[in-house]
Amino acid sequence: MFSEEQLERYSRHIILGDVGVEGQQKLLNSSVLIIGTGGLGTPAAQFLAAAGIGKIGLVDADQVELSNLQRQVLHHTPDVGKLKVKSAKETINDMNPDVDVETYDYYLHSGNIKEVIRSYDFVIDGTDNFPAKFLINDACVMENKPLSHAGIIRFSGQTMTIVPGESSCYRCAFPKPPKPGAVPSCKEAGVLGVMGGVIGTIQATEAIKYLLDKGELLTNTLLTYDALKMEFNKHQLKKRDNCAICSSEPEITELIDYEQGACDL
């Protein structure tokens, strides 16, 4: 049963035919894990919290830096020096007290990621390096957890949704990580601040659609965005029969900790 305050807070959802009271209750009973509370993760977390997702997990070992504030919207100037997960949790708690925020102030690796993702209904990859993205994809496939992948750099971004067993995975599109240093880092190449907002809110939208079982997800589809041309394009993907992780006979049976590059995208 909703309180009067909740009925008012979520009124614009409740009057939507595809959400309604039942759908809003689904969201309040759902959980989303956001790995990385930076340019992608913070706008995703902000809108998921506002939407009333009952439990949000935040994973990040870094502290807020002044250079983050150009794009990482849950952090503010007084937060510089704080752990990002603490800063983000405080902002979310101020925004919506309905949300239970769990924080993980450490890096995920092959030895701990499965345990973390198991208690969540949906995973959002807001990381900024290839080793983490492959690790998250592989763990989600192994644990049968739906996942939103995304990446941003300069004036462009991309995102796709992965439902293990039903759709192509990240490795179907990108079989192996590039060699360390082969791709410029965001510190070297830069990124337009609003890129995280554009792509991160799409990730939040995909999570909500999945949890409500409404609409068409970005499965078997890589959505790319060019801000300079203001163009979105969809690139169709296929589930590869010989994918190393999601095929019927996967080569990868244990998680891999690839060499970590700094902010590679």
CATH number of the domain at 114, please. 3.40.50.720
Domain membership flag for residue 199: yes
Instruction: Give the C-alpha separation, 73 to 6, whole Å.
Output: 25
Question: What pTM, to 2 d.p., does this model score?
Answer: 0.95
Beta bridge partners of 232: 225
Express each pLDDT in 69-104 by its tens digit. Answer: 999 999 999 999 999 999 999 999 999 999 999 999
Express each pLDDT in 198-248 by its tens digit. Answer: 999 999 999 999 999 999 999 999 999 999 999 999 999 999 999 999 999
Q: Which amino acid is at 141?
A: V
Instruction: Give the C-alpha separation, 173 to 158, whole Å.
Output: 12
Range of the domain at 202: 4-236
Domain membership flag for residue 148: yes
Whole-number percent of the chain with pLDDT over 70: 96
36 token code pair: 């990385």
Instruction: Tell me the mean pLDDT in the region 152-162.
Output: 97
Q: Which amino acid is at 134?
A: F
Domain membership flag for residue 78: yes
Q: Could you give the number of structural domains in the chain?
A: 1
Strands 156-162, 221-226: parallel, antiparallel or unpaired by DSSP? antiparallel
Q: Which of 30, 33, 54 is nearest to 44 (CA)?
A: 33
Q: Which of 134, 143, 135 is nearest to 165 (CA)?
A: 143
Domain membership flag for residue 262: no
Residue 122 has pLDDT above 70, yes or no: yes
Residue 112 has pLDDT above 70, yes or no: yes
- 243/182: higher pLDDT: 243
Q: Which of 58, 47, 42 is nearest to 101 (CA)?
A: 58
Domain membership flag for residue 100: yes
